[in-house]
Structure formats: C-alpha cells, structure tokens
Amino acid sequence: HAGDGNLHPLILFDANDPDQLRRCELFGADILETSVAMGGTVTGEHGVGVEKLNSMCVQFTTEENAQMMALKRAFDPAGLLNPGKVIPTLNRCAEYGKMLVRGGRLSHPDLPRF
C-alpha cells in the first residue's frame, strides 16, 4: 500500500524498557502523520483501533469526526460497540494538540464533548 500512503510499519523495541515503548509510540505516530502530510492516510483495510486513534485528529477535520460520530451513534445508540475506539472525540483531539484552540476556546463550542 505504500503508494497510497497506507503503511504498515513494524517498529521493533525492547518491551521491558518503558522509555523505548514511549519513543516507539511517538515514532509510530510521526510515521502516520507524515503519511497524511504527504497525501496518504492513517487508515487502511483494518480500520482504526486504539493505536492510530490520535493520528485521526490529523487526518480528519473536527466536522468530519463529528459526522463519523453521528453515524456511529445512529447504529450504536447505547455506545456498546468498541467504546473509545475508531473515532476520536473532540476532547481527545484537543488534548493531543491537533485541534485549534484560540484564546482558551475551541471552535464550535456548542458541539458536545464526549
């Protein structure tokens, strides 16, 4: 998939070293976000679980994430299917630093934060 920006990097690290795990996760996110910057994607045929969730904040706009969340709620009103996965919340994107916050305020403050 490298041609369409859908990469499957394998980053080897020593799981006994917490700092290596942290750096590995940061490096993985950097690879995904560089892919998006170059016109690629963080998603692929396997979708998004937990590992790629923050990078979705880079690929999709706040409005696109809100639309995906609305669609998920339509099919899963009780929120039982993969809670906390697949679609990042607006709060998560803000905390990840990939959402524009000006003057301590988010754009579209009327949108629900989950």
Residue in 103, 40, 57 with CA at minimum distance from that of residue 9: 40
Q: Say whether 31 sits in a helix, a strand or coil.
A: helix
Q: 22 exposed, middle or buried (CB, 10 Å; 0-12, 13-18, 19+)?
A: exposed
The DSSP-derived string for 79-92 is --SSTT-SS--HHH
Tell me, what's the pLDDT at 2? 56
- pLDDT of 88 > 70? The answer is yes
Reported as a single tens digit per residue, the pLDDT across 21-69 is 889 989 988 988 888 888 878 876 666 777 788 888 888 888 888 898 8
Q: Which two tokens stand for residue 63?
A: 């409005």
Q: Would you list the domain boundaries of the chain? A: 2-106
Phi, psi of 101 (to 5 degrees): -125, 120
Mean pLDDT (whole number) for 66-73: 88
Q: Please state, in angstroms and rounded to a whole number, the distance separating the CA atoms of residues 30 and 53.
A: 13
Instruction: Indicate the pTM of the whole model.
Output: 0.66
